[in-house]
Amino acid sequence: MTAHANHSEENKSLRPQEGPKRHIITFIVSIFLTALAFFAVAYMPESPFVIPFIVLIGLIQAGFQLYVWMHLDQKGHEFPTLGIWMGVFFVAAFIIVFIYWLGGY
């Protein structure tokens, strides 16, 4: 409807060093982390650390996805960032309560 799209602001938010470099680096690191996950399962199937380890590298990859590939680190993404972290906070609270006080047993 109304012309609220602010083109000059969008241009400003593109940093000068912005290029394919960060994408390539995170892509390679992500592949490396995925490979690590396969190795962990293949060589230490009995270890209790395998699942926490895979969850951890999964979180790192999710961070790459959000902040590098989906541009969450750029200007104008304050509300999505706030929303995501608020959701994470709420869900963390729910999980803590579920773990300790689910009740009914």
Partner 1 sequence: MAGHGHVAHSPKRHTGLMDWLTTVDHKKIGILYLVAGGFFFLLGGLEAILIRIQLMYPDSKIFIGATFNELTTMHGTTMIFLAAMPVIFALMNAVVPLQIGARDVAFPFLNSLGFWLFFMGGLLLNTSWFLGGAPDAGWTAYAPLSSAFSGRGVDFYVLGLQIAGIGTWLGGINFLVTIINMRAPGLSFMRLPMFTWTAFITSTLVLFAFPAITVSLVLLMFDRLFGANFFDAAAGGNEVIWEHLFWIFGHPEVYILILPAFGVISEVMPTFSKKRLFGYSAMVFSTVLIGFLGFMVWAHHMFTVGLGPVANAIFGVATMLIAIPTGIKIFNWLFTLWGGHIRFTTAMLYAVGFIPTFVIGGMTGVMLAIPTADYQYHDTYFVIAHFHYVIVGGMVLGLFSGLYYWWPKMFGRMLNETLGKWNFWTFFIGFHLTFFPQHFLGLLGMPRRVFTYQAGVGLESMNFISTIGAFLMGVGFIIFIWNVIVTNSKKKDAPADPWDARTLEWTIASPAPEYNFAQTPLVRGLDALWTEKMAGNKKMTPAEPLGEIHMPSASILPFLMSVGLFIAGYGFIYHMYVLIGVGAVIVVSCMFTRSFKDDPGWHVPIDEVERTEKEARA
Alpha-carbon gap, residue 105 to 94, rounded angstroms: 18
Among 85, 92, 86, 93, which Cα is nearest to 63's? 85
Alpha-carbon gap, residue 35 to 4, rounded angstroms: 45
User: Considering the rule CB under 8 A, would residue 83 count as an interface residue with partner 1?
Assistant: yes
What is the footprint of partner 1 within residues 31-70 (CB under 8 A)?
none
Q: Which stretch binds partner 1 (CB under 8 A): 17-25, 39-47, 62-70, 90-98?
A: 90-98
**Least Cβ distance, residue 88 to partner 1 (angstroms):** 11
- Of the pair 18, 87, the CB lying nearest partner 1 is at 87
